[in-house]
Amino acid sequence: MSDDLKIDSDVNPADWDTPVETKPAKKKATGKNAAVKKTWIVLQKNDDIPPSGLFIGHNGTGYNLKASKKVEVPNFLLNVLDDAVVNKPVVGDNGRISHYEASPRFPYTVVRDKS
């Protein structure tokens, strides 16, 4: 045996095979708690959106949104779309860029039921 290998005196080898307590897995919500709120939107046409549609991933789940098509999406996807911004230049009176302002990269319109 090598002299470099030292055994810690505080560690008891008898404890190595003892099971560790774990918390029970949470049960998935059912009924009203499991329902995800959704909203109808229309994604506006944009040069950044390919003809095949805009692919958005959220927590390992992918969504493909087509431009100019009415679609029902979970509300957490609206947060993803809202967070996608691009800085666009603002031209002043003298014809030069005065500053940049944040603008939505993928604008959309919320479709409401008019009843």
Among residues 14, 10, 66, 16, which one has the least CA distance to residue 41? 66
pLDDT tens sequence across 61-93 = 999 999 999 999 999 999 999 999 999 999 999
Could you give the percent of the chain with pLDDT greater than 90? 60
The confidence score (pLDDT) of residue 26 equals: 53
| CA distance linking residue 115 with residue 95, whole number of Å | 47
List the structure tokens of 23.
Answer: 């918390």
pTM (whole model) above 0.75: no
Longest dimension (CA), the chain: 83
